Amino acid sequence: MAAAAAASIRERQTVALKRMLNFNVPHVKNSTGEPVWKVLIYDRFGQDIISPLLSVKELRDMGITLHLLLHSDRDPIPDVPAVYFVMPTEENIDRMCQDLRNQLYESYYLNFISAISRSKLEDIANAALAASAVTQVAKVFDQYLNFITLEDDMFVLCNQNKELVSYRAINRPDITDTEMETVMDTIVDSLFCFFVTLGAVPIIRCSRGTAAEMVAVKLDKKLRENLRDARNSLFTGDTLGAGQFSFQRPLLVLVDRNIDLATPLHHTWTYQALVHDVLDFHLNRVNLEESSGVENSPAGARPKRKNKKSYDLTPVDKFWQKHKGSPFPEVAESVQQELESYRAQEDEVKRLKSIMGLEGEDEGAISMLSDNTAKLTSAVSSLPELLEKKRLIDLHTNVATAVLEHIKARKLDVYFEYEEKIMSKTTLDKSLLDIISDPDAGTPEDKMRLFLIYYISAQQAPSEADLEQYKKALTDAGCNLNPLQYIKQWKAFAKMASAPASYGNTTTKPMGLLSRVMNTGSQFVMEGVKNLVLKQQNLPVTRILDNLMEMKSNPETDDYRYFDPKMLRGNDSSVPRNKNPFQEAIVFVVGGGNYIEYQNLVDYIKLSQLGQK
């Protein structure tokens, strides 16, 4: 997860990709004429990186006629250059050598997502020699793009093998030293690529005694080595690019997931977070199953078919950009508003059409004609816009409806409200046991999540008898009790380390939106769903960031280690050399962040920007 940078990381990565596709010559946007037609070969990692950033149309604009997976059967296309974008693993290298031997393409532009080792490069050289194809290998590049950017200011490490760097992988008890090293190396490699693409050397701060510290030490070492190596340094002036205007160095805050385990379990209420939690949402693409309308199937005819539809939620989607952080009722309302305005515009166009139709018969009213021509031209020019709007509205209507169904089915609003209350330590009006034992409130997972949040946030552990009761209720509801075991252990450790994190004050107020929505007769019949509005709260991650950026003194963050890869001598102190507050920060959670925290950080940024003005 990242906060805003001068030229956002998404733009930078996109620029880098486009340059790569243009044979690593900087891409000039206004170039006329046809681009050189080429073929793009990628592996699954490459696919994950490219798909949120470039659509198929954009690829076509860059001249990619065909894009294929590396490990598929590919026919030879003898007079076309091929651009490869793969990870430098053994199997990929073998397949590439095979391609060279089989003389599939005219020329090869090899791009490796992260740096390739010398021995593997020699393997390729060998194969190229064997196939007498050395001249065909036109360029070989290390792209340093081993991360996936999802938003302007958010990135994740990987999607294909995210199990490798997940919380479970890092925190399970039977991990060996060497496995841990592998995980840490993967994380550090991706972070290093991120900073190379960003073109800045950060100042690193991390808490002591955690996996985050391991990552920080390794990353610091790697950056330091790279800076020392003056010949091959990746951070020299020309790589900073024209977009880098801030002269201050960014702050990298490395936190471990263990400081706050309740937030990932928390039920969500903002649009993006809900879509991610409830629907199948990966790499900015949501997959919906739609059942065909019940009322349309005639009696005795074919059965209901479920259509799978997938939608891309991209930065071009204005509605999404505006509302992805809003609480769900607001979203519902906004969709409604958009729909209304669209209908009004549509009516306008129809009216014009009918007028034109009438106009064709009556020749006398020329003045009306000229007036209407102007209106018509404006309507025609705005037609594509209108169509696009329609498409977006349809999209969001479908998505929001799906989300709403889930909410109603699982009573997610109840869960959300209850968890908020637990986390802010206000009094609970309903007993936890009631909710757990309620058979139509939520899946067993939901109940488990609720109970775990309760357990984590409780000042003292519930008594044995209570615990037994809860356990029984949970097992009756069909839950697996293993997570509870883990959280118990975790809590024991966390108690030894520090005080449990507090979540700030928050209240949830039911608002009177329900009535308004009902009155306008919209599709979003949110009856029975509470309309809850979030009040501003600061999650632990945001608090830590605030302290570190503003250089506030706080017992929680004073003990954080300080790394500056540009300093000549590393030292173990926690005293920051730089006393000025930071303008840019990147927050990375070792073990996985989530959309709730992302949203919280974005809100924090907005607030602090407002406050500064």
Contact set with other proteins (CB under 8 A):
16, 19-20, 24, 111, 115-116, 118-119, 121-122, 124-130, 132, 134, 137-145, 176-178, 196-197, 199, 232, 234, 239, 241
Q: CA of 380: how far to CAs of 21, 376, 386, 488, 594, in Å?
A: 36, 6, 10, 64, 43
Residue 73 or 90: which CB sits closer to other proteins?
90
**Terminus-to-terminus CA distance in the chain, angstroms?**
25
Token pair for 134: 């050395």
Token pair for 58: 């954009």
Q: What stretches of 157-220 adopt beta strand conformation (E)? A: 203-206
d(CA 72, CA 66): 13
**CB 92 → other proteins: shortest distance, Å?**
16
Residue 461 is given by DSSP the state P
**CB 3 → other proteins: shortest distance, Å?**
22
Residue 116 or 544: which CB sits closer to other proteins?
116
Cβ atoms < 10 Å from Cβ of 82 = 22
Closest CA to 143 of 8, 55, 56, 19: 19
**CB 140 → other proteins: shortest distance, Å?**
4
Distant-in-sequence, close-in-space partners of 568: CB < 8 Å, separation ≥ 6: none
Residue 233 or 536: which CB sits closer to other proteins?
233
d(CA 313, CA 184): 31
Residue 334 is given by DSSP the state H
d(CA 401, CA 17): 36
Q: Is 30 exposed, middle or buried (0-12, 13-18, 19+ CB in 10 A)?
A: exposed
Tell me which amino acid residue 248 is.
Answer: Q
Residue 122 or 385: which CB sits closer to other proteins?
122
Q: Are 463 and 431 in contact (CB under 8 A)?
A: no
Residue 241 or 504: which CB sits closer to other proteins?
241
Closest CA to 353 of 330, 380, 335: 380
**CB 443 → other proteins: shortest distance, Å?**
41
Token pair for 244: 């880098």
**CB 144 → other proteins: shortest distance, Å?**
7
Residue 177 or 464: which CB sits closer to other proteins?
177
Residue 223 or 423: which CB sits closer to other proteins?
223
DSSP 224-275: HHHHH-TTT-TTSHHHH-TT----SPPEEEEEEGGG-SHHHHSPP-BHHHHH
Q: Is 230 exposed, middle or buried (0-12, 13-18, 19+ CB in 10 A)?
A: exposed
**CB 174 → other proteins: shortest distance, Å?**
14
Residue 232 or 431: which CB sits closer to other proteins?
232
Token pair 């007498």 is at which residue?
A: 132
**CB 473 → other proteins: shortest distance, Å?**
44
d(CA 405, CA 567): 55
Q: Are 72 and 47 in contact (CB under 8 A)?
A: no
**CB 134 → other proteins: shortest distance, Å?**
5
Residue 117 or 297: which CB sits closer to other proteins?
117
Residue 111 or 599: which CB sits closer to other proteins?
111
**CB 64 → other proteins: shortest distance, Å?**
18
**CB 110 → other proteins: shortest distance, Å?**
8
Residue 140 or 217: which CB sits closer to other proteins?
140
**CB 173 → other proteins: shortest distance, Å?**
17
